[in-house]
Amino acid sequence: MIKMVFCAVRRSNLSRAEFQEYWLNHHGPLFQKYAETYKAVRYVQSHTIDTPLNENIRKARGMTEEYDGVGEIWWESEKDFLEAIGSPEGQRLRHIFLEDEARFIDPGRSAAFFTEEHILINKTPLPITA
Strand-pairing partners, residue 4, are: 73, 114
Residue 62 Ramachandran class (φ > 0 left, ψ -120 to 50 alpha, else beta): left
From 26, 7, 24, select the one nearest 68 (Cα to Cα): 7
Q: How confident is the model at residue 127 (pLDDT cuts 50, 70, 90)?
A: low
In percent, the amount of the chain with pLDDT more than 70 equals: 96
In total, the chain counts a number of residues equal to 130
Q: How confident is the model at residue 12 (pLDDT cuts 50, 70, 90)?
A: very high
From 37, 41, 42, select the one nearest 90 (Cα to Cα): 37
Given a cut of 90, whether residue 98 has pLDDT beyond it is yes
Q: How confident is the model at residue 65 (pLDDT cuts 50, 70, 90)?
A: confident
